[in-house]
Amino acid sequence: MDTLTIAIIIISLVLGLAIGFGIAKYLERKNASKIIQRAKKSAAGILKEAKQEAEGIKKDKILQAKEKFIELKSEHEKVILSRDKKIADAEKRVRDKESQVSSELSKSKNLNKELEEKIADYDHRNEILERKQEEVDKLHNSKVQQLEVISGLSAEDAKAQLIESLKDTAKADAMAMVQDTIEEAKLTAQQEAKKIIINTIQRIGTEEAIDNCVSVFNLESDDVKGRIIGREGRNIRAIEAATGVEIIVDDTPEAIILSCFDSVRREVARLSLHKLVTDGRIHPARIEEVVKKTTKQIEEEIIEVGKRTVIDLGIHGLHPELIRIVGRMKYRSSYGQNLLQHSREVAKLCGVMAAELGLNPKLAKRAGLLHDIGKVPDAETEVPHAILGMQWAEKYGEKPDVCNAIGAHHDEIEMNSLLSPIVQVCDAISGARPGARRQVLDSYIQRLKDLEDIAFGFGGVKKAYAIQAGRELRVIVESEKVSDDKAANLSFEISQKIQTDMTYPGQVKVTVIRETRAVNIAK
């Protein structure tokens, strides 16, 4: 290829490039103008929308500002109206006060005027009275001088004679008045005393206290009865021997009966049976263990009952041993009346009656609560219960008035305190009301106690229980001291002693039980 051709080709390429570049620039300018036009249109639309939105926001803000202005204006008007009303009320009150003050001033002026007139009138009358008093004094002196001349006595002598005659007259009148007062007191004293007693009884109204000799132990099913009885009756015999309570198992559904005149034994037996039935293990060794634990529990309960009683009655500083004795009253009865309830009742009666008579009600309550503590001991003593209770009270540091009230409430000793007749009367009120006591029950319990005491009078007797309503006396002896032959003789001797010393209905069966135990411990 020659040089010319190459040059032509190069020139052609350069021209092509130049033409292409020009065409490209033209197209670029054309596209740029279109884009600019579209951008201008879009900007104009955005500006229009912005102006419209700004106008809407402006209108909303103007409306909100107008509403806020109207709201503030109404609140301001309310405040102004309220202030105007308060100011009007204050102005009205001021006007009323001014009118009232003016009327009071006018009244005061009138009163001052009347007072001045009355003062002037009083001064005038006072002057007239002074002149008249002077005239009366002159006349009195002249009359006294005339009387002295006529009677031959001076004024002082006449005055002394007059005073002496008045003294005699006053003494006679006073003696007559005292006599009338004494007669009236004699007529009304008994009536007033009855009124105090009636008011006291009315304020201390309690239920009738009747103590029973049997307890019913409920069972979940009759199947438990067989477990309580045990093989050949060994369990029931062990329970009766450990507690001294007769257990009656009959056809009564889901129940057995515990019979004993001593409520402490009966409660021990009831709680022990409950623990044994709940636990399920019923055999002689377990029975003895549970009875011992229950006996200890009852002793703790007795102390708790004593503490609650003295707290309820507001009695403080009582000796712990006296508190325990008060707790044991819960399980004692007197003529069928629960001893604790009777003592609480007497304490309340004494407190009310002492307050009515102006005495110390706390001391009276103390004497009323402790008046029958001599009935608590299990063993019978020859000392009357009032004297025994007084001895205990003295031993445990009670005041002499309380001790005398305890010892004298059945007239065993002389009364030397005002509390003593109050305790005696309140004891009679509590015991003598209808239904409070049952003489038959008390004599029955006494007969059972006498049966047990006869058995304890023989040597070698460990325990003695009167059961079967007194128709059987069960005696447990110490195997080391009483042999089998002696046990038979002992049964005969006890029965003969009962025949000669006691009066009782029917027959009394004496059963002597001798049990030998061999105990060793494996270590």
Q: What is the pLDDT of residue 208?
A: 43
Residue 423: name the closest of 371, 361, 375 by CA. 371
- Give the DSSP letter of residue 378: S
Q: What is the pLDDT of residue 152?
A: 59
User: Hey, is 342 helix, strand or coil?
Assistant: helix
Say how many C-beta atoms besides its own lie within 10 A of residue 153's C-beta: 13
Q: What is the pLDDT of residue 197?
A: 60
User: Hey, is 360 helix, strand or coil?
Assistant: coil
284-312 helix and 263-279 helix, angle to the nearest 10 degrees: 130
Q: Are 395 and 407 a contacting pair, CB within 8 Å?
A: no
- Give the DSSP letter of residue 375: G
pTM of the model as a whole: 0.45
- Angstrom distances, CA of residue 348 to CA of 321, 399, 427: 22, 19, 11
Tracing tokens 């305890």 back to the chain, one arrives at 406
Q: What is the pLDDT of residue 506?
A: 66
Between CA 405 and CA 369 the distance in angstroms is 11
Please report, for the chain, how many H helices and E strands are present, in that order. Answer: 14, 8
* DSSP H or E stretch at residue 215: strand 214-218
Q: What is the pLDDT of residue 288?
A: 86
Residues 6+ apart with CB under 8 A from 203: 352
The two structure tokens encoding residue 263:
């409520």
Q: What is the pLDDT of residue 209?
A: 43
The two structure tokens encoding residue 250:
């009959």
Between CA 472 and CA 459 the distance in angstroms is 20
Q: Are 74 and 66 a contacting pair, CB within 8 Å?
A: no
Between CA 127 and CA 216 the distance in angstroms is 103
Would strands 509-514 and 472-477 be described as parallel, antiparallel, or unpaired? parallel
What are 214's strand-pairing partners?
259
Q: What is the pLDDT of residue 211?
A: 46
Q: Spell out the per-residue pLDDT of the chain, length 523, in tens.
A: 567 788 788 887 888 787 878 787 777 777 777 788 887 888 788 888 888 888 888 888 888 888 888 888 888 888 888 888 888 888 888 888 888 888 888 888 888 888 888 888 888 888 888 888 888 888 877 776 776 666 655 667 666 766 776 676 776 677 667 666 766 666 666 666 666 665 655 555 554 444 456 677 777 777 777 777 778 778 888 888 888 888 787 777 778 888 777 777 888 888 888 888 887 788 888 888 888 888 888 888 888 888 888 888 888 888 888 888 888 888 777 666 778 888 888 888 898 888 888 888 888 888 888 888 888 876 556 788 888 889 888 888 888 888 998 888 888 888 888 888 888 888 887 765 544 455 455 667 778 888 888 888 888 888 888 877 677 888 888 888 888 888 888 888 888 888 888 877 667 888 888 887 777 778 7
Residues 6+ apart with CB under 8 A from 399: 363
Between CA 294 and CA 282 the distance in angstroms is 15
Q: What is the CA radius of gyration of the chain?
A: 57
